């Protein structure tokens, strides 16, 4: 499932390439036809993320709310802006792999940047017409003329009034990248964790407790804190919850910057470069069931918590 850093990157990409422009909005598969008709021809005025949810506001005051869920993804075509320093394709949405010396300023129809659980770029026929035909079941298409954004497979895609969107936001827990005061927001998280008898591993995945944490971040945050995921929230010291919140704040910012979840703080420059190229080197415990813990050598355990896989070291996390 796409986690918080992914949705923040999508919001930033839309801010660069879609905000401030009138958009042709359509629903190629037809399932969002009525919503698309409400937004067609209108100008997107902002795109923001809170946790795993995207809120794109239009000049009518209406808001397109998207939750990618387990399988949702955005495909962007065209003259897509870089999210960081460097040439156009480098650090753009999709973390594309570009050969050294490759031409960076390809025509709009020659690149597709994918943003979902992972980021990737694939080549598109350079002779293809513009805009490119939809691929698969596209729920909604946003077309600025120079950039096309196609949404496929979301859990939620709806048009809300400003008041309705505010109600959705109010139900979400704090997101470090959108709160006014990180320390104050952290105290909200401390209270919501320490007053409940639910396992802390489950609480961190509860978007009403803290917004944006998914399975990868949950496993890694708890390992970095050497905290047993099954510990009831009310038995976790407040200072430990504050430390997890501070760690989440830093890891989320890193993920938005880098376009990936890299949680190992033991890597030198060469090790980090290797982890960027090889996803199996990026994490302490996530996805490493049966493999030796990188600290103590004990096989990493995989269990089920609230229907989701939970990875932990049974020795380090006690």
What is the C-alpha separation between 127 and 307, in angstroms, rounded? 46
- Is residue 292 part of the annotated active site? The answer reads no
Active site residue 308: yes
Q: Where are the alpha helices (DSSP H) in 60-208?
A: 162-170, 182-194, 200-203
Catalytic residue among 90, 246, 257, 308: 308
**Nearest-5° Cα angle at 17, 11 to 23:** 100
Chain position carrying tokens 């600290």: 295
> Could you give the C-alpha distances from 300 to 146, 262, 314, in angstroms and in order?
47, 18, 7
**Residue tagged active-site, from 9, 12, 52, 312:** 52
Q: Do the beta carbons of residue 46 and residue 15 sit within 8 Å?
A: yes
Strand partners, 199: 232
Q: Write out the two tokens for 228.
A: 């047993």
User: Sheet containing 119-123: which strands, arranged edge to edge?
Assistant: 24-26, 138-143, 147-152, 73-78, 111-115, 119-123
- Contact yes or no for 10/154 (Cβ under 8 A): no
- C-alpha to C-alpha distance for 201 and 206, rounded to whole angstroms: 9
Distance CA 252, CA 177 (A): 8
Query: CA-CA distance, 313 to 311, in Å (whole number)?
Result: 7
Q: Which two tokens stand for residue 252?
A: 């989320």
List 3, 62, 119, 220, catalytic entry? 3
Task: Verify whether residue 309 is a known catalytic residue.
Answer: no
Q: Which residues are catalytic?
A: 2-3, 52, 308
């Amino acid at each position: 499932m796409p986690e918080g850093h992914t949705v923040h990157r999508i919001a930033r990409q839309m801010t660069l390439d879609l905000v401030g422009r009138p958009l042709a909005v359509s629903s190629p598969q037809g399932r969002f036809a009525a919503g698309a008709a409400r937004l067609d021809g209108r100008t997107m005025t902002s795109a923001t993320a809170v946790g795993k949810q995207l809120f794109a506001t239009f000049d009518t005051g209406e808001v397109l709310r998207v939750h990618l869920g387990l399988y949702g993804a955005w495909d962007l075509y065209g003259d897509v802006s870089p999210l960081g320093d460097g040439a156009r394709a480098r650090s753009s949405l999709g973390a594309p792999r570009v050969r050294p010396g490759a031409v960076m300023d390809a025509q709009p129809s020659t690149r597709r940047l994918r943003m979902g659980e992972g980021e990737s770029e694939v080549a598109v026929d350079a002779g293809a017409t513009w805009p490119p035909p939809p691929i698969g079941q596209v729920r909604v298409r946003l077309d600025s003329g120079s950039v096309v954004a196609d949404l496929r497979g979301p859990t939620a895609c709806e048009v809300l009034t400003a008041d309705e969107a505010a109600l959705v936001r109010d139900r979400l827990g704090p997101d470090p990248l959108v709160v006014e005061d990180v320390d104050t927001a952290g105290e909200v998280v401390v209270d919501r964790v320490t007053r409940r008898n639910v396992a802390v591993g489950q609480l961190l995945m509860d978007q009403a407790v803290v917004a944006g944490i998914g399975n990868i971040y949950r496993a890694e945050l708890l390992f970095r804190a050497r905290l047993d995921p099954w510990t009831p929230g009310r038995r976790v010291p407040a200072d430990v919850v504050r430390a997890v919140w501070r760690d989440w704040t830093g890891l989320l910012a890193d993920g938005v910057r880098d376009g990936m979840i890299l949680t190992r703080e033991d890597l030198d420059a060469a090790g980090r470069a290797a982890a960027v190229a090889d996803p199996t080197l990026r994490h302490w415990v996530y996805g490493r069931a049966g493999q030796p813990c990188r600290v103590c050598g004990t096989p990493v355990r995989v269990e089920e918590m609230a229907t989701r896989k939970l990875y932990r070291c049974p020795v380090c996390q006690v």
